[in-house]
Amino acid sequence: MLTLASRYSPTPACFSSPLEASDFFAQRASRAVQLRITSPSLPQVQALLLLTGHKWGAGDGQSAWIYLGIAVRMVQMMGLCSESLNTSDDVSASEAFILAEERRRTAWTCFLMESLLSGGGSRARILTSEDMRIQLPCEDEAFIFGIPVQCELLNDAFSQQKRPDTMPSLSILAYTVRVADIWGHVAKWASCDESVTESLDHQGSRVHSLISSLEHWKLTLPDRLRYSLFSLQAHSVLEQGQGFCYMHCIYFMAVIFLHRHDLPHLGLSKSPRSLDGLDQEAFGDWAGRSSYTLYDTASTVCDMCEEINRLGADFRRGLVPWIGFTVYTTIGVMLYFQSFPLEPRAEFLTKTRHRLHSAYLLLKEMKNEWPMASRWLENIYSLQKYHASRVQQANLSVEELQSFRNLMVDYGALHDTPVSDPATVSVRSTGNTLDLASESNTHSGLEARQRSYAQLGDTPQSARTGSASDASLVDVLHVPNDFDGADYLVSEEEMAGIFQEFWTMFPGEVGAGNMAL
């Protein structure tokens, strides 16, 4: 608890910064957990889950995945994925229900976090929906007061016949678990060859099945949980706003991942299709609708960011790293539409700029609590610089499109290390270089990144980024002085790396360190 809470303390005693205090307590907690690693218990699992959240937010995705894996194995050994029939005569019915619900919520948290952090060739889920033979989390009121209730199972959402005596209204956590399960399937689809070769405009394709699952989930939401700015404000009054944002950000991310594969211009789409007549027209219609869906979803996230900024620091402190990853991904999508607008009207560009700025401000604030956001901001600056140069280039050839595609489809191994505390890193303008407090750390970091991206191949000629004026680079986001003049792209390998990171990375992957595990 101290690990997560200390990052929000403005003046922690004996530490130079809140993040240093957080890391200190995390190390102590990690050692304590390791001493009892062969003796599974509910507190042990819960401690591992808290450490997973800390490591994830610190940009250390490898450690987060390992801690989570240990927690999952403990859950399996303790039988938490099945309903417990053991009841003691020494406790009341209310106390027995609270204890059982705590076990269920611990297991569901493992399932939830594993679903969100899964993705890529090296991160497959251990727990499946078939493994979870326990009811979904009940409403908080029933949990707190120990009111025994029977809730639906995970897969009951797709069942025509409901179980008798089940609660008609599930908690936010229950719906979050369900959409996270769909995200797990989206992540698996996005990291396999099927996402590259299948016809996305075909009604029988996997992507259409996943889109249908998301729409079904959305339709099952009660009115109080359907997304709108009014609902966000109402849930924030009930101190449920962060959980409400969390749930919908999982949905938004799944939609973005499914619809961004066919974006043109940057090589995200497959090679031009050899379709004739009606097939070509049908695909064009689908691709157009997909682009508008992608833009509308990203716009919704940006509007959510503006509302979160308005709610202030107290609300922001309850946000989890996943929301930051959603904002980061959304900014990249909006930068694309800033360079390649769907509509020629000036109003379209004006709204896009405003929304970009709202999302950027939130991510900039989140870096004070979650170090991984600092590197995301660097990547955003680099992406913006690339877009500024790319929009002036002629259309890419088929070979160049394929080369870009090859840069972006490797969803492979984790290669992330903890991000430095922003308080210990000084950024100052030096023309075309980024000066850090430790020059040796800079060189080793760049060498590691270049080694990591060496296997990606050569960057296409048209992807080579020329110099651009500072004004053109910071115009869209109104980037303040901490980015002015800084050039994070020191080589073509770095450019390839930024591309690969943004368009193919999954939550927990930062992609700027050694690949050793």
String of DSSP letters for 89-141: TTS-HHHHHHHHHHHHHHHHHHHHHHHHH--STT---SS-TTT-BSPPP--HH
Instruction: Give me the tens of pLDDT residue by residue for the chain, a chain 517 residues long.
Output: 777 777 777 776 788 787 888 888 888 888 888 888 888 999 999 999 999 988 888 888 888 899 999 999 999 999 999 998 776 778 899 999 999 999 999 999 999 999 998 875 578 889 999 999 999 999 999 999 999 999 999 987 655 556 656 666 689 999 999 999 999 999 888 877 655 555 555 667 788 899 999 999 999 999 999 999 999 999 999 999 999 999 999 999 999 988 887 676 544 443 344 444 445 555 556 677 888 999 999 999 999 999 999 999 889 888 888 999 899 889 988 988 887 888 888 999 999 999 999 999 999 999 888 888 888 888 788 777 766 666 665 554 555 444 434 333 322 223 344 554 444 433 333 333 333 233 333 334 333 333 332 322 333 333 333 333 333 334 445 444 443 333 433 344 554 455 445 545 555 554 434 322 2
Burial of 106 (0-12, 13-18, 19+ CB in 10 A): buried
The number of CA neighbours under 13 Å toward the Cβ of 125 is 26
Q: What's the confidence (pLDDT) of residue 235?
A: 96
Measure the CA angle with vertex 328, ends 118 and 56; round to 5°: 45
Query: Angle 418-419-421 (CA atoms, 0-180°, nearest 5)?
Result: 120
Q: Contact 248/378 with Cβ under 8 angstroms?
A: no
- What residues contact residue 181 under an 8 Å CB cut-off, 6+ apart? 111, 115, 129, 154
**CA dist., res. 456 & res. 409, Å (int):** 10
Tell me the three-class secondary structure of 228-257, residue by residue: CHHHHHHHHHCCCHHHHHHHHHHHHHHHHH
3-class SS of residue 513: coil
Which residues on adjacent β-strands are paired with residue 403?
Answer: none
Distance of CA 482 to the CA centre of its chain: 25
Backbone φ and ψ for 82, nearest 5 degrees, come out as -125, 150
Distance from C-alpha of 380 to C-alpha of 22, rounded to nearest angstrom: 26
- Helix 346-366 and helix 372-390: axis angle, to 10°? 160
Whether 38 contacts 19, CB under 8 Å: no
The answer to whether residues 59 and 510 touch, using CB atoms and an 8 Å cutoff, is yes
**Per-residue burial over 4-23, b = 16 or more CB atoms within 10 Å of its CB, e = otherwise:** bebbbeeebeebebbbbbbb
DSSP state of 434: B
Residue 335 has a CB neighbour count (10 Å cut-off) of 22
Tell me the two tokens of residue 129: 């929906």
Distances (CA, A) of 335 to 123, 295, 298, 349, 382: 29, 11, 10, 11, 11
* Backbone dihedral angles phi then psi of residue 289, each to the nearest 5 degrees: -65, -35
What is the rounded distance in angstroms from the CA atom of residue 489 to the CA atom of residue 163? 57
* Residue 164, pLDDT score: 58
Q: Do residues 81 and 123 lie in contact, with contact meaning Cβ atoms separated by under 8 Å?
A: no
Report the C-alpha gap between 320 and 247 in whole angstroms.
Answer: 11
Given a contact cutoff of 8 angstroms between Cβ atoms, the answer to whether 205 and 146 are in contact is no
Are 67 and 52 in contact by the 8 Å Cβ rule? The answer is yes
In whole angstroms, how far apart are CA 386 and each of 56, 335, 510?
28, 10, 19
Angle at 328 between CA 486 and CA 64, to 5 degrees: 105
